[in-house]
């Protein structure tokens, strides 16, 4: 990554707290609880983050989540992530919390959120917001509980959106149509993972049933020229009132083997087609990446420095921020990024 780009103030919008847990911290948490799942060495924790496909990644994510047994575990995870974000010069992040997993583990949400909020408030010069995630394959009933949590906690914490992640092939978007409609009426923003491990039709279904403002990944849109055209028409470059953003995560897509190699990534094609794109690290510890490295990947795929600057700027354009705050962030970004590029 070029030094001037690493110095840009950045926003990260597709970032899972559980997937940010580095092996050393995972080991610390495991030992605190007596190594209930056998992760008793750094090598074992590192080996957990090596998998051959998307299913293997989901199993690893599940096991990491099973180690987060009390509120302090979650606070420790956030502490490490916040320090890492500040190192990368990220000044705003929307962190996805797997609230659906909390319900699956039968953990109380309130103590976890209270611990996370206490930790969040200790980090100056880093603004954090929460996206509550309902896991697709857990079904609509659990997702209803997640929506209820989001509506309750948004009065007490910066909960900005609801989303669905997990396995698209086992949790079709249609299951969540009514839930998303209620969330929208209630004023929550809407995100959805789609087109990651399932085809372009999964993206169409998300658009048809959920009406998301942002789509996590959207990778498989590359299979359908009509979908690319639709997303381009609804891209930010066409001055669309409510553009549909794709959160692009190149390293993630290769590490989960949703793509065989980085060179196959459609990021340049999407960019040239005029799609509204942001860049993110997804599960940075589990993929051995960070946001700065993702900009290096974008450059390796052929995006020019000015393209990368606009891609970074898009992070603030796509963020779920009040307009005055967005404008202030954009002014700050423009001043710093233009100065660092010598303009």
Checking if the pLDDT of 342 tops 60, the result is no
pLDDT band, residue 130 (cuts 50/70/90):
very high
Checking if the pLDDT of 290 tops 80, the result is yes
Q: In what order do the strands lie in the sheet with 214-217?
A: 10-16, 90-97, 127-135, 159-165, 189-194, 214-217, 245-248, 276-279
> How is 80-142 classified by DSSP, letter by letter?
HHHHHHHHTTEEEEEEEE-HHHHHHTT--HHHHHHHHHHHHTT-TT-EEEEEEEEEGGG-HHH
Instruction: Specify the CATH superfamily of domain 3-340.
Output: Metal-dependent hydrolases (3.20.20.140)
Exposed e or buried b per residue across 203-230, where buried means at least 16 C-beta atoms within 10 angstroms of its C-beta: bbbbbebbebbbbbbbbbbbebeebbeb
Please give the pLDDT value at position 1. Answer: 46
The residue ranges of every structural domain in the chain are 3-340
Beta carbons of 58 and 167 less than 8 angstroms apart: yes
Checking if the pLDDT of 63 tops 70, the result is yes
Checking if the pLDDT of 5 tops 80, the result is no
Please give the pLDDT value at position 239. Answer: 62
Checking if the pLDDT of 240 tops 80, the result is no
Q: What pTM does this model have? A: 0.95
Beta carbons of 76 and 28 less than 8 angstroms apart: yes
Checking if the pLDDT of 143 tops 70, the result is yes
Please give the pLDDT value at position 235. Answer: 83
**What mean pLDDT comes out for the span 2-6?**
70
| Annotated active-site residue in 18, 119, 196, 247 | 196
241 is annotated as an active-site residue: no
Mean residue pLDDT across the chain: 95
CA distances from 156 to 114, 170, 277, 282, 309 (A): 9, 33, 31, 26, 34
Q: What is the torsional sign of CA 162, 167, 173, 177?
A: negative
- Cα 117 from Cα 128, distance rounded (Å): 10
């Amino acid at each position: 990554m070029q030094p001037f780009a690493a110095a840009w103030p950045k926003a990260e919008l597709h970032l899972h707290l559980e997937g940010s847990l580095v092996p050393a911290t995972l080991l610390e948490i495991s030992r605190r609880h007596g190594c209930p799942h056998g992760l008793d060495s750094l090598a074992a924790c590192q080996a957990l983050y090596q998998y051959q496909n998307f299913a293997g990644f989901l199993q690893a994510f599940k096991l990491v989540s099973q180690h987060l047994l009390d509120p302090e575990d979650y606070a420790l995870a956030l502490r490490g992530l916040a320090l890492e974000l500040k190192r990368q010069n990220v000044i705003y992040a929307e962190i996805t919390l797997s609230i659906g997993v909390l319900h699956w583990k039968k953990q109380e949400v309130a103590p976890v959120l209270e611990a996370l909020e206490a930790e969040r408030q200790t980090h100056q010069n880093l603004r954090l917001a929460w996206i509550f995630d309902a896991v697709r394959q857990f079904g609509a009933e659990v997702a209803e509980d997640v929506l209820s949590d989001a509506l309750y906690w948004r009065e007490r914490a910066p909960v900005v959106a609801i989303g669905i992640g997990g396995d698209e092939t086992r949790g079709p978007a249609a299951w969540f149509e009514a839930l998303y409609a209620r969330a929208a009426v209630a004023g929550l923003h809407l995100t959805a993972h789609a087109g990651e491990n399932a085809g372009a039709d999964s993206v169409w279904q998300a658009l048809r049933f959920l009406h998301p403002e942002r789509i996590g990944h959207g990778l498989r849109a590359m299979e359908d020229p009509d979908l690319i055209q639709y997303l381009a028409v609804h891209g930010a470059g066409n001055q669309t009132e409510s553009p549909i953003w794709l959160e692009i995560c190149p390293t993630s897509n290769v590490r989960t083997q949703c793509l065989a190699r980085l060179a196959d990534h459609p990021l340049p094609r999407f960019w040239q087609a005029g799609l509204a794109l942001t860049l993110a690290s997804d599960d940075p510890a589990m993929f051995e990446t960070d946001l700065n490295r993702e900009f290096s990947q974008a450059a390796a795929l052929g995006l020019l420095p000015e393209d990368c600057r606009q891609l970074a700027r898009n992070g603030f354009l796509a963020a779920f921020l009040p307009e005055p705050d967005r404008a202030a962030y954009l002014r700050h970004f423009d001043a710093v990024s233009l100065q660092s590029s010598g303009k």
